[in-house]
Structure 1
Amino acid sequence: MKNTIALILAAGKGTRMKSKFPKVLHKVGGVPMVEQVLRAVKAAGTTRQIVVVGFGGEQVRDYLGERAETVVQQEQLGTGHAVLQAEPLLQGASGTLLVTCGDTPLVTTETFTALIDCHEKSGAAATVLTAHMPDPTGYGRVIRDDKGQVVKIVEQKDGTPEELAVDEVNAGIYCFDMPLLWDMLHNVTNDNAQGEYYLTDIIGMLVSSGRVVSAFAAPSYDETLGVNSRQQMAEAEQIMRRRKLDQLMADGVSIIDPNNTYVDTTVTIGRDTVLYPGTILEGQTVIGEDCHIGPYVRMTNVQMGDDDHVQFMYAHD
């Protein structure tokens, strides 16, 4: 694998969240969204991780500590402008820049790894993560030519009726070759309905200059869902928690009623343990083997040995 650096865009205010906290610090699966993304890109083999912060930037930096580098986007002028803020940190860097979003916490390590691998094997100047969305409204559409090559990405507000009928959407996640990216970004304009500098404009610029742009489709569109509201956060929460329960069951844990059992992604449970309805396990909880948990148990940051049986209980730390 070539040198790959991850850039996580996390500067947005998230107006629809109606929150005084930065959107990316809201939790999905018991972990802040930006942390879920950070863990996934680290596990995918990236050598550096940089987070672009803006609204509530001090809080995000305090949370991240030394686990990632940060750079500030003082004004939110679009995704292209956000990426450009990292240029001073990456002067002279070569290899691949993986650009992703701090509010798409469902993308798996496996998908990030496959996207990077696709980019490197294709020899493309840029590779776009796409998804086929049942309802693509609100997403940028990926427009291909008759040979299937990516020619441009059109935002919802700028698309023609024919373009907006396309169901393949841009997930907002890319691999770019450095340092070519910076040359292109300096030529992006804000001549669009939003008056913003779109990172997506680079795709058309690369195609116009004769360079190859490839695309990799996520295995499931669920992975690419962004979180812009409390409703979308609840949907992401359901998906993340079901993944965790499926993983636990695959590892030998019995779950009587998955629809009424809630386990954070950070929880560890031994095999042949049984979880009864109404069980809520949070934080760094560790449960041994052959335990019976529930019904109606909530535990946060609790360590439990083997062959323990508890019900109708709350415990923490």
Structure 2
Amino acid sequence: MSNRYAVILAAGQGTRMKSKLYKVLHPVCGKPMVQHVVDQVKKLNIEKIVTIIGHGAEKVQAQLGDDSLYAMQESQLGTAHAVMQAASMLEGKEGVTIVVCGDTPLIRSETMESLFSHHEQLKAKATILTARIEDPTGYGRIIRNKDGLVEKIVEHKDATEEERRINEINTGTYCFDNAALFAALKKVSNDNAQGEYYLPDVIEILKNQGEVVTAFQTNDLEETLGVNDRVALAEAERIMRKRINESHMRNGVTIIDPNNTYIETDVKIGQDTIIHPGTILKGKTIIGGDCQIGPNSEIVSCEIGNETVIRQSVAHNSSIGARVNIGPFAHIRPDSSIADDAKIGNFVEMKKAVFGEGSKVSHLSYIGDAEVGRNVNIGCGSITVNYDGKNKYLTKIEDDVFIGCNSNLVAPVTIEKGAYVAAGSTITKNVPKEALSIARARQVNKENYVEKLHLKQ
């Protein structure tokens, strides 16, 4: 196998997107389009990946980082001009170069591998990735000879009636003999209405030199979709989401309603987990086996243990153990760590808290900036009062503590092992081990108060 190189075209602004965000950075299932392309290309044993950048160059580089080398296209003068910007890194090298657009997030590594193999087997100088489409209006047609080799690419406006009936189209992805590519690029003219240098002209130049030009047809038209506006972006999202959901289902995950379940590309889910409708799984989320998630839950970059149930709740950037029961309507904010067998009930908010094994906070409570031990019970309406308007402080609740309903724990404070806090207390000082702390006003009953009140009226 020859050396392999890749050029990714990502310099365009994408004016039809009507957005401040540069086109190739628009996300599909949580990942920028150009990152999808680079991730697939990286699977192909590529020697060098060169991304052509222009509009939004710094942000594209920040996204891709060390995944690619970069070449700047200062002025967008066409696709051939864009590829030529990689000459300083690739010209003169022996091997095969794939050219792929950064706005084609659905393209698969398997298809690109087949394109490479086809190109190498036929010893071609250029190979075009093609597809068949029911209505090819507006696309360049692939004209083949009797041997199946490519004679030319004819743009729709230049095609004869017979050529327009051809439904095999140019997808804009190519493999080239690297040396032949950069030699031909020097001969591309901008003698056209737009005054630009077009990469398909390289095909004609190579044909005129008597070189072999082939085409490899993909059976999956969807993966060739180029995203130029928000309508195409939504279509790419739909197709990618379907792929992701089907992959999880084939791996043993039950998704009750795939059309209403939204899972990003990097999410991992264990076998026999059930995902209910309306659930959104994002970021680097990892979910164990035998879990139940949803309905209508949002999980972002969380690690979740086996047999955990999360219903109608939100959890972000946190660690959740096995056999935990969360919700409905709980909010797990970032940097929380919930141990095995814990219960986080309805309308509970947790932030930057460590919550111990077997502990429970069943309803209507806020646990923020806290360390909660094992087998703790926190009653309804209890709050760790962590903020004085300027600084935040830590509440420590040790093992086997019982916090009565409607208690305020004013940090910094420690409730030691086995202690009880009476309902309605506001705790401002540490509570000793196995003590009962009562911090509330003494009850006073005023006899015959109502009768006296009515006499005054």
The reply to whether TM is greater than 0.5 is: yes
How much does 1:16 deviate? 0.6
SS of the aligned residue for 1:65 comes to: helix
What's 2:302 paired with? 302
Larger mean CA deviation between 172-181 and 144-153 belongs to: 144-153
SS of the aligned residue for 1:239 comes to: helix
How much does 1:132 deviate? 0.4
What's 1:286 paired with? 286
Equivalent pair of 1:131/1:171 in contact (CA under 8 Å): yes
What's 1:64 paired with? 64
Say if 2:10 is the partner of 1:10: yes
Distance of 1:284 and 1:156 partners within structure 2? 44
TM-score, reference length from structure 2: 0.68
What's 1:268 paired with? 268
What's 1:192 paired with? 192
Corresponding letter in the other structure for 2:176 = F
Alignment: residue pair count: 317
Distance of 1:8 and 1:262 partners within structure 2? 28
Equivalent pair of 1:190/1:197 in contact (CA under 8 Å): yes
Corresponding letter in the other structure for 1:32 = P
Distance of 2:315 and 2:159 partners within structure 1? 53
Larger mean CA deviation between 195-204 and 234-243 belongs to: 195-204
Larger mean CA deviation between 209-218 and 189-198 belongs to: 189-198
Larger mean CA deviation between 94-103 and 151-160 belongs to: 151-160
Say if 2:126 is the partner of 1:126: yes
SS of the aligned residue for 1:259 comes to: helix
How much does 1:296 deviate? 0.6
Equivalent pair of 1:151/1:203 in contact (CA under 8 Å): no
What's 2:95 paired with? 95
Larger mean CA deviation between 229-238 and 61-70 belongs to: 61-70
SS of the aligned residue for 2:66 comes to: coil
SS of the aligned residue for 1:265 comes to: coil
How much does 1:157 deviate? 4.2
Deviations 1:141-183 (Å, cap 9, x if unpaired)? 2122243321111234444444333211111111100211111
Larger mean CA deviation between 143-152 and 42-51 belongs to: 143-152
Equivalent pair of 1:157/1:193 in contact (CA under 8 Å): no
SS of the aligned residue for 1:272 comes to: coil
Distance of 1:226 and 1:20 partners within structure 2? 19
What's 1:224 paired with? 224
SS of the aligned residue for 2:97 comes to: strand
Equivalent pair of 1:106/1:236 in contact (CA under 8 Å): yes
Distance of 1:177 and 1:29 partners within structure 2? 34
Corresponding letter in the other structure for 1:196 = E
Distance of 1:224 and 1:194 partners within structure 2? 25
Corresponding letter in the other structure for 1:151 = E
SS of the aligned residue for 2:51 comes to: strand
Say if 2:101 is the partner of 1:108: no
Distance of 1:198 and 1:158 partners within structure 2? 15
Corresponding letter in the other structure for 1:251 = N
Corresponding letter in the other structure for 2:270 = G
What's 1:73 paired with? 73
Distance of 2:99 and 2:265 partners within structure 1? 24
Equivalent pair of 1:288/1:306 in contact (CA under 8 Å): yes
Equivalent pair of 1:273/1:289 in contact (CA under 8 Å): yes
Distance of 2:92 and 2:148 partners within structure 1? 34
Say if 2:253 is the partner of 1:253: yes
Q: Which has the larger radius of gyration?
A: 2
What's 1:164 paired with? 164
SS of the aligned residue for 2:137 comes to: coil
How much does 1:261 deviate? 0.5
Deviations 1:212-266 (Å, cap 9, x if unpaired)? 1111111211110100000000000000010001100110000111111010011
Distance of 2:157 and 2:78 partners within structure 1? 14
Equivalent pair of 2:125/2:176 in contact (CA under 8 Å): yes
What's 2:233 paired with? 233
Distance of 2:220 and 2:56 partners within structure 1? 32
SS of the aligned residue for 2:216 comes to: strand
Q: Which runs of 5+ in 2 are unaligned?
A: 318-457
SS of the aligned residue for 2:306 comes to: coil
Corresponding letter in the other structure for 1:98 = I
Equivalent pair of 1:4/1:47 in contact (CA under 8 Å): yes
TM-score, reference length from structure 1: 0.97
What's 1:208 paired with? 208
How much does 1:194 deviate? 2.7
Distance of 2:193 and 2:166 partners within structure 1? 20
Corresponding letter in the other structure for 2:259 = N
Distance of 1:63 and 1:284 partners within structure 2? 16
Distance of 1:38 and 1:238 partners within structure 2? 20
Deviations 1:113-162 (Å, cap 9, x if unpaired)? 11111111110011110000122233222122243321111234444444
Equivalent pair of 2:91/2:182 in contact (CA under 8 Å): no
Indicate how the Cα distance of structure 1 residues 266 and 232 shifts in structure 2: closer, same or farther if over 3 A, else same: same
Indicate how the Cα distance of structure 1 residues 159 and 198 shifts in structure 2: closer, same or farther if over 3 A, else same: farther
Indicate how the Cα distance of structure 1 residues 57 and 159 shifts in structure 2: closer, same or farther if over 3 A, else same: farther
Equivalent pair of 1:126/1:214 in contact (CA under 8 Å): yes
Distance of 2:163 and 2:226 partners within structure 1? 21
